[in-house]
Amino acid sequence: MADAERGAQGEAGGIRCEAGDVGVTTVDLDSSLRALRAKRTELLNQVDAIDTALAALAAAGITTVNAPEPQPEAADDVTSPLVPTRVKARRVLSDEHRQALLDGRRMARHRRAVDEGRARELLGPLPAPSEAAGLPRLVKRAK
């Protein structure tokens, strides 16, 4: 529908609001129906043109570059054998390792609380020295 026709009929969609009538809006359904039918006819003409172009391309044997490949019908028999997938066993932490992780998280939470001023610094026992602590670091141990 042309803009000139819309201007003569009022706002687009057939809704008119008179300047003198405050709060009164009239709806012209006939103009809305005419606009929708005109748009439908225009779109149907475009679809017909597309169908004609596709039929001409198919008759000439031309394929488009981005067209999906036609999928063959699914065969009942499988051409390649089914190979089972091996799933690794679930890794389980030892109790000592799990406890060490929990202790580390607890100490990290406490360290953050100390840094924020919400807790006091712990004066806990020092870690026990290992048996190799007395040896220099880069000396080979006798087996």
pLDDT at residue number 101: 93
User: Of the spans 64-73, 74-83, 85-94, which averages the highest pLDDT?
Assistant: 85-94
Q: What's the pTM value of the predicted model, to 2 decimals?
A: 0.29
CB 50 within 8 A of CB 13: no
Please give the Cα distance from 32 to 30 (Å, whole number): 5
Please give the Cα distance from 39 to 36 (Å, whole number): 5
pLDDT at residue number 87: 86
Mean pLDDT over residues 107-135, rounded? 76
Mean pLDDT over residues 91-101, rounded? 89
Domain residue limits, the chain: 3-60
Q: What is the pLDDT of residues 53-70, one digit of tens each?
A: 888 888 887 665 666 665
Longest dimension (CA), the chain: 108
